[in-house]
Chain A
Amino acid sequence: MNPDIVQLVLVTIVTAATPLFIAAVGELVAERSGVLNLGVEGMMIVGASVGFAVAYMTDSTVLGALAGTASGVLMAALFAVLVIGLAANQVASGLALTIFGIGVSGLIGSGFVGQKRTAAQALWIPGLSDLPIIGRLFFGEDLFVYAGIALIALVAYFISRTRAGLTLRAVGDNHTSAHVLGLSVGRIRLLAVLFGGGCAGLAGSYLSLVYTPFWSPGMTAGRGWIALALVVFASWRPWRVLGGALLFGGATVLQLHAQAFGIGLPGQLLSSVPYAATVLALIVLSWRNRRGAAAPAMLGMPFISDR
């Protein structure tokens, strides 16, 4: 096979994986604090519509990405009021956030359907980016990719090496003890949930600013849910999220290339590959791990302070 094609395939895998791991690493932080936010899909799609709208109006990809991130934080704040402030059911609240987000993103994006922007520029380091096979892969991605990987490194360091990270895990594993120790369970969870929302919003704006790059209704197409599955698949460990996302990115790209090369399978079968792969990944993981051993113990449980 031509080395240029190999490189192209590898680069598209990274592009497909990036929105997944950015959203997943944010959700990972929220879940480590004990909050299950099923609204990733909703926060992501709002991020995609707001990100595109702002980038289109200001003609700035950076402003678009910032606005997309901010919209994700706002959505997460709504969720936090319900599940942290009012101790509402987390599963149902997350679903509400997703249903709401799909509608709102349609309203925001309705004026931008059919508009196009040029995709965000990829980095280009003369010499390094020209290297065969690995040149573009390592030195010629767009800035989101590097920012996303930096985010993972940061989260990994934060969770395992810092005092604040220890606090986060303590709250996620036993909120009652954490409370008795004088930690503010609600405030820590709020910050974790907001961080998760920001990441989902950023991941969504990546889709509409780099991946496609245009806005279309429902464009996240279940990626938020796949990001949620990735967190489980990664056993709540940041670097494994990156590995998992690359695997899923691979499945998506394989499916696209198979369609392009006209492999004799129905398109719908190939399109369902990422979703089937997600189920399969969950099965393989459960097979390997004992039940729920890796999950934060308080995941999904509301905390009610008895003062």
Chain B
Amino acid sequence: MRIDLEPRAEPSRWASIAAPVVALLLAIAIGGVVVALLGKSPVQAFSVYFIDPLSASWSLQALAVKASPLILIAVGLSFCFRANLWNIGAEGQFIVGGALGGWLALATHDGAYQQSLGGWWILPAMMLLGIVGGALYAMIPAILRVTLGVSEILSSLMLVYIAGYGLDYLVRGPWRDPQGFNFPVSVTFDPEATLPSLIADGRLHAGVLLTLAAVLIASVVLAKTMFGYEVRLFGAAPKAARFAGFSERTITLAVFAISGGLAGLAGIIEVSGQINQLQPSISPGYGFTAIIVAFLGRLAPFGILLAGLVLALTFIGGEGAQVAMKLPLDLTSAFQGILLMCVLAADVFTRYRVRIVTGAAR
């Protein structure tokens, strides 16, 4: 038996909508088998993972807050991936953005700046610093690639570990709260440095609005501007793009700046909206999960919006399943890996006609 692939002239429109849905269903089915192998009820697990989080207001808010960084990072990554560039260090850019933005909150903590300048400027400045931090950190692999041809895949990934150790050092060392009973955490941010809630006493914070804005802007830029066209052409037909005079260097630097900047923004939103202080670890792997979000969303901003909600559901459902069913948290990561494999497998049907030839037909 063998599999024959015949390229389609045009990607199938029907298949490109159906593929992610089929992939999700397939992944859920495989996940169910894994749960059964662990000796638990797949039906109960499905309900804990995918239904329970949707049934209460607080968990719906948690869902939006968890999906927000995933969507922001994935929207940025979609620019890179579309241009056939592989920034897989978003986790590191997230950390640097969160740390640099968080630094301003620590520097202005109960300080004279706030009283004399009113304090309103602190949050916007933190967001800006988050973007700048993430974008600058993403410039390292981008510049190494355009000047020396260093593989951006490996360099961006190595920088994740370095960023993680860097934040760990800062929080255990110079940024530690002197009154914190020796816990490795910074002081709690002032209200001026904390993203406001959208609902009284709720968890939903203003960062969610920034995420929605990013999705809208990204979809316009990708679909309607010359830059978006260049990025898409560059990924689909690099020779044609070079012939048309597009600069590989400019596009590489630009998409890395966009993805790094959005990852950094996600970092500072998480720090100032959720955690409200700096601690040794500020991400449960958002930067890596966002890669799955980008592919499940078919590298399109609105698709990513939906995909981000689905993967946020697996995070929240995973925590719920740990408490309610004693299912290990690793199941979430295993499921996410299965999901990405299913998405990539299903994607084949949009680009090729697939025929399975049995031995006799050869």
Interface residues of A (CB under 8 A from B): 38, 42, 78, 81-82, 85-89, 91-93, 95-107, 110, 186, 217, 222, 225, 228-229, 232, 266, 268-269, 271-272, 275-276, 278-279, 282-283, 286-287, 291-292, 304-305, 307
Contact of A97 among B151, B154, B330, B337 (CB under 8 A): B337
Interface membership of B125, Cβ < 8 A: no
Chain A to chain B: the 6 pairs with minimum beta-carbon distance, closest first: A100-B337, A106-B330, A103-B334, A103-B333, A291-B149, A96-B340
Q: With contacts A81-B345, A91-B153, A282-B151 known, what are 5 further pairs, Cβ within 8 A? A: A100-B341, A103-B332, A103-B335, A268-B169, A305-B5
In angstroms, how far is the closest chain A Cβ from the Cβ of B310?
15
In angstroms, how far is the closest chain B Cβ from the Cβ of A286?
4
Interface membership of B220, Cβ < 8 A: no
Contact of A100 among B329, B338, B347 (CB under 8 A): B338
Q: Can you list 17 contacts pairing A with B, beta carbon distance less than 8 Å? A: A38-B153, A42-B337, A81-B345, A86-B5, A92-B291, A93-B341, A100-B333, A103-B331, A106-B333, A222-B157, A225-B157, A268-B172, A269-B165, A276-B162, A279-B144, A279-B155, A282-B144
Residues A99 and B292 in contact in the complex (CB < 8 Å), given A78-B341, A225-B154 = yes
Number of residues from B at the complex interface, CB < 8 A: 52
Contacts of B150 in A (CB 8 A): 279, 282-283, 286
Contact of B158 among A88, A96, A278, A286 (CB under 8 A): A278
A282 contacts B7, CB within 8 Å? no
Interface residues of B (CB under 8 A from A): 2-5, 7, 34, 38, 86, 88, 144, 148-151, 153-155, 157-159, 161-162, 165-166, 168-169, 172-173, 288-289, 291-292, 295, 328-338, 340-341, 344-345, 347-348, 352, 354
Closest to B162 in A: A272
Contact of A107 among B38, B88, B289, B352 (CB under 8 A): B38
A91 contacts B86, CB within 8 Å? yes
B288 contacts A99, CB within 8 Å? yes
Complex: A283 Cα to B289 Cα, angstroms? 28
Complex: A278 Cα to B34 Cα, angstroms? 36
Contacts of B344 in A (CB 8 A): 82, 86, 88-89, 92-93, 96
Contacts of B291 in A (CB 8 A): 92, 95
Complex: A225 Cα to B158 Cα, angstroms? 8
A110 contacts B340, CB within 8 Å? no
Complex: A130 Cα to B34 Cα, angstroms? 51
Contact residues of A: prevailing secondary structure? helix
B169 contacts A102, CB within 8 Å? no
A87 contacts B334, CB within 8 Å? no
Contacts of A278 in B (CB 8 A): 154, 158
Contacts of A96 in B (CB 8 A): 292, 337, 340-341, 344
In angstroms, how far is the closest chain B Cβ from the Cβ of A263?
15
- Specify which of B5, B88, B341, B345 lies most central, judged by the most chain A CB atoms within 10 Å of its CB: B341
Complex: A82 Cα to B344 Cα, angstroms? 7
A87 contacts B5, CB within 8 Å? yes
In angstroms, how far is the closest chain B Cβ from the Cβ of A217?
7
Contacts of A106 in B (CB 8 A): 328-330, 333-334
In angstroms, how far is the closest chain A Cβ from the Cβ of B12?
15
Complex: A175 Cα to B154 Cα, angstroms? 25
In angstroms, how far is the closest chain A Cβ from the Cβ of B188?
23
B161 contacts A272, CB within 8 Å? yes
B157 contacts A268, CB within 8 Å? no
Residues A292 and B149 in contact in the complex (CB < 8 Å), given A93-B344, A272-B166, A278-B154 = yes
Closest to B37 in A: A107
Closest to A102 in B: B333
- Specify which of A38, A229, A279 lies most central, judged by the most chain B CB atoms within 10 Å of its CB: A279
B337 contacts A269, CB within 8 Å? no
A304 contacts B5, CB within 8 Å? yes
A103 contacts B336, CB within 8 Å? yes
In angstroms, how far is the closest chain B Cβ from the Cβ of A86?
4
Contacts of B2 in A (CB 8 A): 186
B148 contacts A286, CB within 8 Å? yes
Residues A229 and B154 in contact in the complex (CB < 8 Å), given A110-B328, A275-B161, A307-B4 = yes
Residues A279 and B159 in contact in the complex (CB < 8 Å), given A38-B153, A99-B292 = yes
Contacts of A269 in B (CB 8 A): 165, 169
Complex: A283 Cα to B149 Cα, angstroms? 9
Closest to B157 in A: A225
In angstroms, how far is the closest chain A Cβ from the Cβ of B299?
11
Contacts of B341 in A (CB 8 A): 78, 82, 93, 96-97, 100
Complex: A87 Cα to B3 Cα, angstroms? 10
A286 contacts B169, CB within 8 Å? no
In angstroms, how far is the closest chain A Cβ from the Cβ of B34?
8
Contact of A268 among B148, B168, B352 (CB under 8 A): B168
Complex: A93 Cα to B295 Cα, angstroms? 11
Contact of B151 among A98, A232, A276 (CB under 8 A): A232
